Amino acid sequence: MLTNSQLAELLSREADQAEGVRQRALRRAARSAFLWPDAAVALVQRGGALTELHGVGPFIASQLQRWIDDPPAALDDVPLIRRDFLDLAQARAVLDAQPRWRERLRGDLQMHTQWSDGSATVAEMAAAAAERGYEYIAITDHTKGLSIAGGIDETQMAQQEAEIEALNREALTPRVTVLRSAELNLNTRGEGDMDRRCLAQLDIVLGSFHSALRTKEDQTERYLAALRNPELHIVGHPRGRVYNYRAGLMADWPRVFAEAAKLDKAVEIDSYPDRQDLNVELLKLVRCAGARVSLGTDAHHAWQLEFIDLGLAAALKAKIEPDRIINFLPLPDLKRWVSSLRR
Ligand SMILES: [Zn+2]
């Protein structure tokens, strides 16, 4: 039975042969396929219409129907730039088979708000998290070096602090504690772009690379430098891959993850559908190294908190030990971990 991610691969291949409007429609449908709540094949079996699915008009529906009726062979040799991405329907099937796993999740540790390039306010993100039953979330707006994503400086960070503190104090969203964080923009030497004293005020610091992501040379040193940066606790979307756009960086991953384990730092599963970074294959190496893992949706809209299922399923498929996942920690333990890294 064809999965939605296999259908996405077929749509992407078809897009490579097409041009103009058709190509854009095929590419858009391929990306949508990762978010369809149901397996398209199951929908058809139930007598549903493929056009019910997001991003599917009559043209795409007839393409999909042909593949469903007569599944093409040789779907194994997926190019690296599109390899090892889970779709949401698949991820939910994986999680439904082990309900305990999802119950362990206490929060989401990467999301953006209107302070940088997100669409929602901090309060709206917190309300969405409360609906999901979370205990905490980390607000990780971009920092000033990434001006293209509206990165914020130390002054804005202080203003955001006032907003978050008021929110936590007023307890407008019972149960959910909003943690002050940032997606620190790292240069290729693993250094951040913010005042050290400002970062020391945050509850937790995520840092990511957003530049020189297409180099083909080994980038092990860049990762070791980032992990050794005392300002940083989590390395966000480590490879920097994006579905059908950028394959991401290369490194001696066992060495990188061994260093993370030695320093007790976390590497992220960015659960954004286009990213899924780290992916299952690399997460198996993380498991062997024993490093900590952080789950974040990288949500830019409140509804995108549902992307967490992709990260949860990837961790489960890679058999990451639950005690290695920092989002499974109660809040006091999460804070203790950060304090221990700062000492
Ligand atoms: Zn980022």
For residues 187 and 191, what is the distance between their CA atoms, to the nearest angstrom?
Answer: 5
CA of 206 to the centre of ligand 1 (A): 9
Topology of the domain comprising 97-342: TIM Barrel (3.20.20)
For residues 102 and 125, what is the distance between their CA atoms, to the nearest angstrom?
Answer: 20
pLDDT at 173: 57
Confidence of residue 172 (pLDDT cuts 50, 70, 90): low
CA of 146 to the centre of ligand 1 (A): 9
Q: What number does CATH give the domain 4-78?
A: 1.10.150.110
For residues 191 and 222, what is the distance between their CA atoms, to the nearest angstrom?
Answer: 10
CA of 278 to the centre of ligand 1 (A): 13
For residues 161 and 143, what is the distance between their CA atoms, to the nearest angstrom?
Answer: 14
CA of 280 to the centre of ligand 1 (A): 19
CA of 59 to the centre of ligand 1 (A): 34
CA of 111 to the centre of ligand 1 (A): 10
What residues are neighbours of ligand 1 (ion), with CB under 5 Å?
Answer: 208
CA of 298 to the centre of ligand 1 (A): 7
CA of 61 to the centre of ligand 1 (A): 33
Q: Is the peptide bond before 278 cis (omega within 30 degrees of 0)?
A: yes
Of 252, 249, 250, the closest CA to residue 210 belongs to: 249
CA of 238 to the centre of ligand 1 (A): 9
Contact in structure between 277 and 270 (CB atoms under 8 Å): yes
Convert the pLDDT of each residue in 63-82 to its tens digit: 999 999 999 987 888 999 99
For residues 313 and 184, what is the distance between their CA atoms, to the nearest angstrom?
Answer: 26
pLDDT at 1: 85
Residue 315 buriedness (CB in 10 A; 0-12 / 13-18 / 19+): buried
Contact in structure between 72 and 11 (CB atoms under 8 Å): no
pLDDT at 61: 96
CA of 44 to the centre of ligand 1 (A): 37
Contact in structure between 266 and 326 (CB atoms under 8 Å): yes
- Using the predicted structure, report yes or no on whether residue 15 has a pLDDT greater than 80: yes
pTM of the model: 0.96
- Using the predicted structure, report yes or no on whether residue 304 has a pLDDT greater than 70: yes
- Using the predicted structure, report yes or no on whether residue 90 has a pLDDT greater than 60: yes
- Using the predicted structure, report yes or no on whether residue 242 has a pLDDT greater than 70: yes
CA of 236 to the centre of ligand 1 (A): 7
Q: Where are the domains of the chain?
A: 4-78, 97-342
Q: Which two tokens stand for residue 128?
A: 């969405």
pLDDT at 75: 83
Q: Which two tokens stand for residue 331?
A: 């809040």
